[in-house]
Amino acid sequence: MIVARRQAERLSVLDRPNSYIGKTVPRPNLDRLMQGRGLYVSDIELPRMAHVVFLRSPHAHAKIVAIDASAAKRMPGVIAIVTGRELAAVITPWVGVLSHLKRLKSAPQYAMAIDRVCWQGEAVAAVVATSRALAEDAGEQVLVDYEELEAVTDMQTALDPKTPVIHPALGDNLAFERLHDTGNVDQAFEAADEVVEAEFVFGRHTGVTLEPRSVVADWNSAEGRLTIYQGTQAPHMVQNIAALHLGLREQQVRVVCKDVGGSFGIKVHIYADEMATYALSKLLRRPIKFVADRVESFNTDIHARDHRCKGRIGVRRDGAITAFKIDDLTGIGPYSMYPRTSAIEANQVVNLVGGPYTTKSYRARARVVFQNKNVMCQYRAVGHPIACAVTEGLVDLAAIRIGMDPVQIRKRNLIADDAYPCASPTGLRFEQLSHQACLTKLVEMMDYAGLRAEQATLRRTNIYRGIGVASFIEVTNPSAAFYGVGGARISSQDGVAVRLDAQGSVICQTSITEQGQGSEALTAQIVATVLGVAMERVRVILGDTDNTPYGGGTWASRGAGIGGEAALQAAKVLRKNILDVAAAILQSNPAELDIAGNAVVNAGDREPRIELSELARIVYFRPDTLPPGIQPELMATRHFVPREYPFAFTNGVQASWLEVDPETGFIRLLKHWVVEDCGTIINPQLVDEQIRGGVVQGLGAALFEKCVYDERGQLTNANMADYLVPMAGEMPDIDVGHVVSPTRESELGAKGAGEAGTAGAAAAVINAVNDALGPFGTLVTEIPLTPQVILTALGRL
């Protein structure tokens, strides 16, 4: 591990004897999950609980003429059949726009369709019964009379005058447009020796969480309170929005989030069917469970990507990149999602293209259009894979054109590691990145020269292998600049409360959430380290709006950087409070004491002075023995939000080594490397597995995953047999290396690591495929890179 220069000057509260920071320690929740004692929403059974099944539109766009539920209502076990119109009396509609995304527009969306459906899978009626199976039986008996309308499916023609406007009140199908121009772009292209262009196409895909979206909503009319059990990444956001649309005060809504089986951004949004479930509970005054099945998941979990991006790059013969230009188009379904909006991905593409490079001249346009397909929104690494594939694809094309090695052109143009702080052409501010150090380390890890030699040798025997490299930047630790400034009630700060209990153990409540990435582990590691207690002594509570401080949750690679710093600061205060009491008890001076091994010790000779359990006993049960005037505070709460930088950018570089069979179009991934810089590493294994998991999702996009719609807006592969997720058999070994440049915005110094893997994986693969196919003179710029795509590009079909 290369430890960047500034690390040494920064001995902090984390550099303590027996520190857990930087150590791979097992996660506290592992045994519970491995022994099958996790508690997922579908495990929850409440008295009088009923199950809802949503009847979903088979059409992409249709008028609802009539709904006849009379036969269905007589089916066994049926409690109620509720239409969109009936439910609208309980819950108000919403519009997914934010004010900082200028001129973003969308139409009011209801919990269930009222008189028109806008995508295949939109709910039109709710069937509530005593079991899911009975509700499905009854659902088959509900007769819905539809009048099909023309579906807008192709984003490339969505803005044509001939194309119907999905929401006439909006005037056209353009949801959002962003233009960016640094100025002097034409001149910069003129100054280039070569200008290269390409169009990059990204398939629509989705997150495919192992546990589907699930909710149990329990309206207790006696208490006037709604308890929502939900696998969500952002409990306080759900609390705020459920309250707002059900006409309740936030205090009347409690969101409980126990174990979550994967999220990846899928579970950070407000879905119409989940809102409908809350409303049904209120309407029917009983607990209602909704667990999406796999077909529903494919039809209603947010989709992502689906961009067509034209790119252009100018390069001088000496390798200097003079300018970038992009024109990006994406279709987002019929509504902008609530509350984060569906304009963010395109916005990120504009923000991030060219980001790793010194090139100053950049012009961009992004257009976001409505279509009659499932809604699209933020999924792991929002916008990054697109920006990265376009940028890195263009850089490789430029290198090929001028006959320069792909590593060389990157060395020539990546921002120098001593150039910080600086900003990107779109004004993103970089505190401290390490592109050059990462690239140097990558080249060494992969033995770049050796692979090039191997590649050349194998080509002589008609084996076509390729190397692809992709540098990237990643947005992490977002401040209010992401959502808050646009009016969204999505907290960018997080809070942690720590307290010493009566036996000297520690209870820690945090507002970040756990979906498998290790939030619980890293919180315990930080608190245990700062306090000086064993990790087993720290119990972390999260995912409950009644029982944690207010905060954002876990998304946008923010949990460790923001929630972790709040934990650190809270633990520091508690430590000070403990030492104050200890000094009073021991008639010593707090500065001469420390905590280590669950006891207060002498700071100098480390001699134990008093066990924390003994200190706690005195504080809680014999406060009468303390000196007068001492009021111990063995609980401390701190909040944190980054203020100086809107985002803590991280960076890294990935490489792919693969083989293409030009006869069959099949690609075999042989190896993948990532070097990344997420600042302070709290738990190396958790970081590495975040990177690997992220890479695998990126490789899924590169080779396999695509939601295939036909021209009538029907999703034709909404099942796990036809929608191909990446599986272990096809995955290469993934080697992960690190460069560490801690952020100075926090004492912890951690930036995020959750999305870096996904950001650059597809780009590396596309570049490697084109490198492998170099001798054939073909260029492939469309993912997923299916055998069909490769063979078509090679002209073999």
Partner 1 sequence: MKASAFDYARVASIHHALEMLSLHGEQAKLLSGGQSLLPAMNLRLVSPQILIDIGDLAELRGIAVDSDVLRIGALTRHVELLTSHLVAAHAPLLSDAVKHIAHPAIRNRGTLGGSLAHADPAAELPACMLALNATIIACGRDGERRIAAAEFFQGIYATALRPDELLAAVELPIARQNSVDFFQEFARRHGDYALAGVAARASVASGGFSKLRMAFFAIADRPVLANAAAKLLNVAITPELIADASVAFGNELNPPEDQQASSSMRRHLASVLFRRCVEALLARGRLYGGAG
Paired sense of beta strands 538-541 and 506-510, if any: parallel
Do residues 635 and 509 make contact, with C-beta atoms less than 8 angstroms apart?
Answer: no
Examine residue 603 and tell whether it contacts partner 1 (CB under 8 A): no
Any contact of residue 11 with partner 1 (CB under 8 A)? no
666 part of the interface to partner 1, by CB under 8 A: yes
717 lines the binding site for partner 1 (CB under 8 A) = yes
Buried b (16+ CB within 10 A) or exposed e, 381-402: bbbbbbbbbbbbbbbbbbbbeb
Q: Binding segment for partner 1 among 26-34, 543-551, 603-611, 721-729 (CB under 8 A)?
A: 721-729
Q: How far is the CB of 269 from partner 1 (least distance, A)?
A: 23
Least distance from partner 1 to the Cβ atom of residue 75, Å: 12
791 binds partner 1 (CB under 8 A): yes
β-bridge pairing 782-783 and 194-206: parallel
Among the listed residues 186, 223, 722, 733, the single contact to partner 1 using CB under 8 A: 722
Minimum distance, C-beta of residue 785 to partner 1, in the bound complex (Å): 11
Stretch that binds partner 1, among 134-142, 184-192, 388-396, 681-689 (CB under 8 A): 134-142
Site string for partner 1, 243-282 (x = CB under 8 A): ----------------------------------------
Half-sphere exposure of residue 125: CA atoms within 13 angstroms, side-chain side: 27
Residue 530 to residue 19: CA distance in whole angstroms: 8
Told to check if 663 binds partner 1 by CB under 8 A, we report: yes
**Closest to 270 in 3D by CA, of 315, 319, 310, 228:** 228
Q: Which of 168, 729, 777, 795 binds partner 1 (CB under 8 A)?
A: 729
Question: Which lies closer to partner 1 via its Cβ, residue 115 or residue 663?
Answer: 663
Cβ(368)–Cβ(176) below 8 Å: yes
Contact range with partner 1 by CB under 8 A, out of 1-9, 26-34, 223-231, 723-731: 723-731
The minimum distance between CB 795 and partner 1, in angstroms, equals 11
If one counts every other C-beta atom within 10 angstroms of the C-beta of residue 716, the result is 12
Q: Smallest gap, in angstroms, from Cβ of residue 119 to partner 1?
A: 20
To partner 1, the closest distance from the beta carbon of 64 in angstroms equals 23
Question: Does residue 786 interact with partner 1 by CB under 8 A?
Answer: yes
Give the footprint of partner 1 on residues 283-312 (CB under 8 A): 293-295
Measured from the CB atom, is 557 or 786 closer to partner 1? Answer: 786
Q: What is the closest distance, in whole angstroms, from the C-beta atom of residue 334 to partner 1 in the complex?
A: 24
Q: Does 797 bind partner 1 (CB under 8 A)?
A: yes
Q: Is the CB of 408 or the CB of 719 nearer to partner 1?
A: 719
What lies within 8 Å, CB to CB, of 257 at 6+ separation is: 229, 230, 231, 232, 235, 513, 542, 543, 544
CA dihedral 499, 500, 503, 505 (to 10 degrees): 80
Q: How far apart are CA 414 and CA 406, in angstroms?
A: 12
Residues 6+ apart with CB under 8 A from 609: 582, 586, 588, 593, 599, 600, 601, 602
Which residue stretch of 130-138, 193-201, 555-563, 621-629 sits at the interface with partner 1 (rule: CB under 8 A)?
A: 130-138
Of 536, 690, 517, the C-alpha closest to 20 is 536
> Residue 546 CB, nearest distance to partner 1 (Å)?
33
**Residue 590 or 700 with smaller CB distance to partner 1:** 700
Stretch that binds partner 1, among 563-571, 596-604, 722-730, 765-773 (CB under 8 A): 722-730
Q: Which of 18, 156, 221, 716 binds partner 1 (CB under 8 A)?
A: 716
Shortest distance (Å) from residue 48 CB to partner 1: 21
Do 538 and 729 meet the contact criterion of CB atoms below 8 Å apart? no
State the minimum distance, in angstroms, from the CB of residue 663 to partner 1. 5
Q: Which is nearer to partner 1, 3 or 727 (CB)?
A: 727
Does 633 bind partner 1 (CB under 8 A)? Our answer is: no
Q: Which is nearer to partner 1, 132 or 167 (CB)?
A: 132
Which of 296/745 has CB closer to partner 1? 296
Q: Would you say 518 or 784 has its CB closer to partner 1?
A: 784
- 704 makes contact with partner 1 (CB under 8 A): yes
# chain residues binding partner 1, by CB under 8 A = 29
CB atoms within 10 A of CB 42: 16
- As a whole number of angstroms, the distance between CA 566 and CA 559 comes to 10
Tell me: does residue 782 bind partner 1 (CB under 8 A). Answer: no
Interaction between residue 133 and partner 1 (CB under 8 A): yes
Radius of gyration (C-alpha) of the chain in whole angstroms: 28
Nearer to partner 1, 136 or 614 (CB): 136
Which residues are within 8 A (CB) of 442 and not within 5 positions of it... i.e. 6 or more apart? 448, 469, 653, 654, 655, 673, 675, 737
> Which of 606/796 has CB closer to partner 1?
796
Residue given tokens 């070994």 in the structure block: 733
Q: For residues 452 and 462, what is the distance between their CA atoms, to the nearest angstrom?
A: 15
Determine the interface stretch with partner 1 among 172-180, 189-197, 370-378, 725-733 (rule: CB under 8 A). Answer: 725-733
Given a contact cutoff of 8 angstroms between Cβ atoms, the answer to whether 478 and 492 are in contact is: yes
In terms of Cβ atoms closer than 10 Å to its own Cβ (0-12, 13-18, 19+), residue 46 is middle
71 lies in the site for partner 1, by CB under 8 A: no
- Helices 384-402 and 406-413 sit at what angle, rounded to 10 degrees? 110
* DSSP SS3 for 507: strand
Shortest distance (Å) from residue 175 CB to partner 1: 28
Q: To 5 degrees, how large is the angle CA 185–CA 765–CA 356? A: 35
Q: Measured between alpha carbons, how far is 18 from 536 in angstroms, rounded to an integer?
A: 13
Please report whether residue 794 would count as binding partner 1 according to CB under 8 A.
no
Select 93 or 787, whichever has its Cβ closest to partner 1. 787
Q: How far is the CB of 719 from partner 1 (least distance, A)?
A: 8
Answer whether 336's CB lies under 8 Å from 347's CB. Answer: no
State how far the Cα of 182 lies from the Cα of 351, in Å rounded to an integer. Answer: 12
Nearer Cβ to partner 1 (66/797): 797
Both tokens of 394, joined, read 């263009």
Q: Is 406 helix (H, G, I), strand (E, B) or coil?
A: helix
Q: Rounded to the nearest 5°, which phi and psi values hold at 581?
A: -65, -45
Which one of 39, 99, 727, 733 is in contact with partner 1 (CB under 8 A)? 727
Q: Minimal distance in Å, beta carbon 730 to partner 1?
A: 5
Nearest distance, CB of residue 573 and partner 1, angstroms:
50
**Binding footprint of partner 1 on the chain (CB under 8 A):** 132-133, 136-137, 140, 293-295, 663-666, 704, 708, 716-717, 719, 721-722, 724, 727, 729-730, 786-788, 791, 796-797
